[in-house]
Amino acid sequence: MQWFRRELELPQGTERWVIVRTTASLQQAQKSLQRQVSRAQTSWAQKCWHLSNRRFACEADARAALERELKGKPTWLEVEVKFVAHPHHAGKGRPRKDARPATHHWQIVATATVNQVGVDEEALRKACFIVGTNVLDPALLTDQALMLTYKEQGGVERGFRFLKDPLAPFVFGLCEETATSHRAEFDHGVVPAGLPLSGISATDPPGGDRANHP
């Protein structure tokens, strides 16, 4: 198990948050994400095929259509794009070799590929979960004790309820920042002094809870 702490200034006051990632939570995130990757590959291959079968009056229209299609694209999915101009001649029949095209029709040739490095980073982010407290001094409440308190309070159910908390988007943003900016600490197993958190279930879903103490 790997974790580290940080203090945050929140509307309700300063809190100490412990960001945790376990081997089991990482494996669970990787398994879940792999299913998403498989579905996304199929879905985006179809999108690319449909795009390639459309023609646009100008390059600007083609780029605008591509921008609309790319909305919602996972960060770990890369789309390689080429814009191809097909000459279009006025009139019927085969044009003369030296005939100038009246206009061009534009085609989008797109190919979707999975960025495995991005998938791995997303799994690391999803594997993290947060436990917070307003007890800032670790000497009064250690990270390990905080985790045990979280578990004793029924962390699984409370973790799911936290998804409705107005702070949830902020929490997930922190997880994303954590997985990136503290990659070295996680990868090298940097943890505060103390025993491993072996008493905490590794199946808790990503979420958060705050242990309040007087």
Tens digit of pLDDT for each residue in 127-179? 888 888 888 888 888 888 887 776 666 544 444 444 444 445 555 555 555 54
Instruction: Flag whether pLDDT at 87 surpasses 90.
Output: no
Residue 85: pLDDT band by 50, 70, 90 thresholds?
very high
Which of 42-46, 93-97, 157-161 is the least confident region?
Answer: 157-161
At 63 the pLDDT is 94
Q: Provide the β-strand partners of residue 104.
A: 87
Share of the chain above pLDDT 70, in %: 66
- Residue 92 vs residue 47, higher pLDDT: 47
